Amino acid sequence: MSNIPPTPLAPRPTVAPATEADAAPSPEADTDSPPVFETKQLSVSYGSALAVADINMYIRRGQITALIGPSGCGKSTLLRCFNRMNDLIPDARVEGTILYEGLDLYGDDVDPIEVRRRIGMVFQKPNPFPKSIYDNVAYGPRVLKMKVDRMDDLVEQALRRAALWDEVSGKLKKSAVALSGGQQQRLCIARAIAVQPDVILMDEPCSALDPIATARIEDLMVELKQDYTIVIVTHNMQQAARVSDITAFLTAAVNEATGERHGELVEFAKTATLFTAPADERTEAYITGRFG
């Protein structure tokens, strides 16, 4: 694949800020760190049904961006665009543009497998493979035939980064499915980290976890953002407020002619601003619990 830069974790060139014409809904969300992703007029349909429409936003390096909004507004659909997971859904059609590091993520010469290595994903329900803890973490590097000096070191490092090492170091050959839900989710994060991604996408990663496990994952996200750019979908408003730097609020708009619903981006701003002084009354209604 020629189009995606070869060293995802190498120092980044400074990318010029978006021009006014490209600007996302709120200039509030603009900061100094360069955009990793920029979407322009991004829409996704499943068959003839429009799921999300005209999304113009960006994801900035080293930040946690939260996607919030009522069920069915297209958060997961939008998240899957960032690593081309929608390609795996036969009916899904992505229109518009997503730039990754300024390059067209959906360009003809871009390899979606490489995209998914660079842009990892953690799902709502922890999904460890029915293999040992060790083999779960080593799986990606092995499949991708990554050049690894010592797999043991790579596994240990990934488990340490995922704040799981202390709990599993003595039982690496034990089955991963015997771990608790919160441990399994941290294992999935370790598995994502093991292939040295650039970005980690998380779709409601804590929704199956208790408050203690949730707090651990939240701490972990804040720790990981030093090295990774993170996009998280959450229904937990406190979580978005606690961990994210930028929040995007989506909601379902109704097409008055057809009565069909599709998701659209209502507001995109610094998290502190969005939660304390939302610019749009729909955002305010949602975050105060009067809607959705």
The count of residues in the chain is 292
- φ, ψ for residue 223 (rounded to 5)? -65, -45
Q: How far is the CB of 243 from Mg ion (least distance, A)?
A: 18
Closer to ligand ATP by CB, 41 or 180: give it.
Answer: 41
Q: Is 281 in the site for ligand ATP (CB under 6 A)?
A: no
Instruction: Count other C-beta atoms under 10 Å from residue 57's C-beta.
Output: 24
Residue tagged 């937990």 (tokens): 236
- CA–CA distances in Å: residue 30 to residues 11, 107, 233, 247: 21, 26, 20, 12
Residue 104 interaction partner, one of Mg ion, ligand ATP, none, beta carbon < 5-8 Å per kind: none
Find the binder of Mg ion among 39, 76, 247, 271 (CB under 5 A): 76
Distance CA 61, CA 68 (A): 19
Find the binder of ligand ATP among 5, 62, 72, 102 (CB under 6 A): 72
Q: Which stretch binds ligand ATP (CB under 6 A): 71-79, 115-123, 171-179, 180-188?
A: 71-79
Q: Is 196 in the site for Mg ion (CB under 5 A)?
A: no
- CA–CA distances in Å: residue 162 to residues 14, 89, 104, 170, 204: 29, 29, 31, 16, 17
Q: Is 46 in the site for ligand ATP (CB under 6 A)?
A: yes
Q: How far is the CB of 79 from Mg ion (least distance, A)?
A: 8
- CA–CA distances in Å: residue 10 to residues 146, 178, 196, 227, 228: 17, 37, 11, 11, 12
Span 75-94, contacts to ligand ATP by CB under 6 A: 75-77, 89, 91
Q: How far is the CB of 207 from Mg ion (least distance, A)?
A: 10
Distance CA 161, CA 158 (A): 5
Q: How far is the CB of 186 from ligand ATP (least distance, A)?
A: 22
Find the binder of ligand ATP among 29, 36, 57, 73 (CB under 6 A): 73
- Residues that bind Mg ion in the complex, under the rule CB under 5 A: 76
- Residues that bind ligand ATP in the complex, under the rule CB under 6 A: 46, 51, 71-77, 89, 91
